[in-house]
Amino acid sequence: MKWVDYSCKYGLGYLLNNGYIGINFNDSTKLIVDSESNRYRYFDKHQNSYENTKMVDIDDHPEELKKKITLFNYFKGYLMNNFKKTRENQTMSIKIHVKKWVKNNKAIVFRLSNKVVQVIF
């Protein structure tokens, strides 16, 4: 997993080993996209599971998500240009995403939706 932390302004973007890119925005919303697809899954502040979300075409998004899609494109460009793209685990699904994260001056901790915790010192 690779990440870029712009939480001082927008949020945290990440690139999973399966090619999925996600952003956890500062307003507690999330956007997840397969790097080879134009479809995304958007979580509003109150959604924590996939049951109430749906896949939407990134080129045909609701107007209220325009700024987030623009930010996503910047995050995606940075992540894809600065980190080697790998697909280590082809069986991972888009259902796996960063649910929560915390950072201090010694480490960053990610809790994924499949309850895996990753700590990077």
CATH 3.30.1120.30 is held by the domain 2-94: yes
Residues 67, 65: Cα–Cα separation, whole Å: 6
Extents of the domains making up the chain: 2-94
Strand partners, 118: 110
pLDDT digits (tens, 9 = 90+) for 61-97: 888 888 998 999 899 889 888 876 555 544 445 578 8
Helix (H, G, I), strand (E, B) or coil at 72: helix
pLDDT digits (tens, 9 = 90+) for 36-56: 777 888 888 877 666 667 777
Residues 79, 60: Cα–Cα separation, whole Å: 23
- Give residue 91's pLDDT: 47
**Are residues 36 and 75 in contact, defined by beta-carbon separation less than 8 angstroms?**
no
